[in-house]
Amino acid sequence: MRNPPVQECRSMLDWDDLRYVLAVRRAGSLNAAARALRVDKATVSRRVAALEHALRARLFDRKPDGYELTPHGERVIAAVSDIDDTVAALVTELAEAGGDEGGMVHLTVPQFFASQVLLPALAGFRAAHPTIDVAVNASSSVLNVARREAEVGLRNVKPNQLSVTVRRVGALGMALYGSREYLERRGTPATSADFARHDLIGWERVFTHAKGLLWVNDCGARMAVRLNDSAVMCDATAAGLGIAALPCILGDERAGLVRLEAFGVSRDDIYAVAPGELRRSRRVRAVIDLLVDVWTANEARLSGEGARRKRLETQSRENRSPNRR
């Protein structure tokens, strides 16, 4: 079949169909895209098929686990994303110029940060900003902020793309932990050589993302289980499966876990990132301010300093006790 002339293709193309293709790309399936667009699945399927027919190109490979972009689809999405970003930024700018800071902000953060730090602060944020709705993706999956899969995200590496805006929110402490039962049974490692006799609980690809603890990947220990979430790794550590590198806010506050003090704390800077075109959005800035404020309020817990201070205070009280001999 011959390809239609460019002018004919333009006349056949419904620009609104591009919105449906972008929704499928972001959601990963017809059902999820339909929910996001508040239409039925058949409508999404029909609009995607109409665009493919108009362009004479297959944009998605239909697979059991979702829709995957073809090379033609990648090219279309690259163009559509730019258009969508420009329109979204224009709408935001015009709405906020009229005094309206309301709307939805999609936020992606790790599960442990959401449950331990963010959610307890959301009631106060909602009271101060009643027109801002926050949709929280609490997982270890990394959504692409530059492609507007989320408006705001937390990252442990400073992005260098010009298309995103970046603000440091604080430092996250990571340390090695084992359950008291495990360490009594297997011994407490004091040097890196001791790890050859231990089991590790790690991430799917590497043991830890903490720069100061990457040496554990090559220490010769056996990997007992690989997981994809820090909170689940904390559960596995408490169950006695092995030693894990955990955020201090999880390891220090979980009953039955012991920090391996001989190996110190690794602290990495954490950044809030947002699409560059939304840098002037008041609702996006309000959410980033929220992240900075709650991180600052919980700095000791998140950096790992809280447990050290508590131990020093306990030791000081014991030293002052009149019953001490």
Residue range 185-226, pLDDT digits in tens: 999 999 999 998 999 998 877 767 778 888 887 787 889 999
Region 27-52: what's the mean pLDDT? 85
Is residue 61 within 8 Å of residue 74, measured between CB atoms?
Answer: no
**Higher-confidence residue: 251 or 325?**
251
CATH topology of domain 6-93: Arc Repressor Mutant, subunit A (1.10.10)
pLDDT tens column, 255-270: 999 999 999 999 999 9
Give the per-residue pLDDT at 313: 58
Options 1.10.10.10, 3.40.50.300, 3.40.190.290, 3.30.465.10; CATH of 102-325: 3.40.190.290
Give the per-residue pLDDT at 294: 96
Is residue 217 within 8 Å of residue 270, measured between CB atoms?
Answer: no
Alpha-carbon distance values, 249 to 39, 142, 203 (Å): 41, 21, 18
Instruction: Please tell me whether the overall predicted TM-score, pTM, comes out greater than 0.95 for this model.
Output: no
Give the per-residue pLDDT at 300: 95
Burial letters 22-48, b for 16+ CB under 10 A, else e:
bbbbbbeebebbbeebeeeeeebbebb
Q: Which amino acid is at 75?
A: R
Average pLDDT taken over every residue of the chain: 83
- Rounded Cα gap, residues 216 and 206, in angstroms: 9
Nearest to 145 by CA among 293, 289, 284, 291: 284
| Beta carbons within 10 angstroms of residue 141's beta carbon | 11
Give the per-residue pLDDT at 6: 44
**Higher-confidence residue: 95 or 108?**
108
Give the per-residue pLDDT at 261: 94
Is residue 153 within 8 Å of residue 109, measured between CB atoms?
Answer: yes
Lowest average pLDDT, out of 89-98, 140-149, 219-228, goes to 89-98
Q: Which two tokens stand for residue 9?
A: 């293709």
The boundaries of every CATH 3.40.190.290 domain in the chain are 102-325
**Three-state DSSP state, 253:** coil
CA atoms lying within 13 Å on the CB side of residue 318: 7
Region 299-316: what's the mean pLDDT? 74
**Number of residues written out for the chain:** 325
pLDDT tens column, 120-145: 999 999 999 999 999 998 887 666 66
pLDDT tens column, 9-37: 444 567 778 888 888 887 778 888 888 78
Residue 321 has pLDDT above 80, yes or no: no
Give the per-residue pLDDT at 8: 46
**What letter would DSSP give residue 215?**
G
Give the per-residue pLDDT at 112: 93
Q: What is the DSSP string of 192-203?
A: GGGGGGSEEEEE
